[in-house]
Amino acid sequence: MATNLKQLTSNEDLLCGGHRACAGCTGSNILRQIMLTAGSDTVVGGATGCMEVVTTIFPYTAWKTSFIHSAFENCAATVSGVETAFRSLKKHGELPVEREKINFIAFGGDGGTYDIGLQSLSGAMERGHNMLYVCYDNNAYMNTGIQRSSATPVGAHTSTAPAGSHSTGKTQLRKDLTKILVAHNIPYVAQTTPYHWKDLAAKVEKALAVDGPAFLNILMPCTVGWHFDPAIGIDLAREAVECGYWPLFEVENGKYIINKKPKEMTPIADWMQKQGRFKHLFKPGNEHVLEFTQNWVKEEWEKLLRLEASTA
């Protein structure tokens, strides 16, 4: 199993150092961890976004494996086409070397996944392509100016949902994309974080082993858009799980499994207070937003517990 730490660290690092990711970027950790598990027999597709821009600005690349840059909105369609071409070539005996297994992985941020890439993603999943789609969710369009996306949590300050004297930031709840993908009835869907490396590696293994499409939603704390000290990004990923904002769970053929159940949930306000995007909520008069958010987290956690119980 690649989830053995000694084995993982002995695998070839397929994402080179020297890329342009920000200091403290947790996205590069996500890419590196996934590729250490997936291995070199992998074709990667990258939607326009943070991780594509920092790893493949022409004429350079940080990838040691095949990489295809697609438009913002169509990475899932691009990779599904490559997967189909591979199956066709294999069927007709036209590959120069017989390959039993090649991994096809599409990467997209929340803007290119929750929003403008949702149609492409939904189509690829419904058609049943043997591919893994990974969303690195940093809760906004970080690469283009920190505009709000449908992954942005309520109360967050962004450039298009700014906090001010007449606004408390984004007013809408975030979209539950993970459950939307569960509704596609695909073999494997899961959430994880870069802090929980063993959980992440195990879920990548499962996703690549299934016969059909799989989806991983991975929280990516962003030092630029969330406004925190670059040294604490990985800790914020851990705390997001402990406060219930980002539960670790997986859905295998419709069965929900919660991978970590904190003995006692920490207050979400403790997590939010470390991020500049929420600093306005700690001023007098905005207590109702914090209370609303805490209640929302509690309700979502209880829903998840019921789903696990009902599908056991």
Q: DSSP letter at 109?
A: E
What is the number of residues in the chain? 312
DSSP letter string, 119-170: HHHHHHHHHT-S-EEEEEE-SEEGGGT-EE-TTSPTT---SSS-EETTEES-
Distance CA 27, CA 56 (A): 14
Domains (ranges, CATH) in the chain? 5-311 (3.40.50.970)
Tokens of residue 207, six digits:
């996703």
Nearest residue to 190 via CA among 247, 255, 249:
249
- Taking only the tens of pLDDT, the chain with its 312 residues reads 456 778 888 899 999 999 999 999 999 999 999 999 999 999 999 999 999 999 998 899 999 999 999 999 999 999 999 999 999 998 998 887 777 789 999 999 999 999 999 999 999 999 999 999 999 999 999 999 999 999 999 999 999 999 999 999 999 999 999 999 999 999 999 999 999 999 999 999 999 999 999 999 999 999 999 999 999 999 999 999 999 999 999 999 999 999 999 999 999 999 999 999 999 999 999 999 999 999 999 999 999 999 999 999
Q: Are 205 and 199 in contact (CB under 8 A)?
A: no
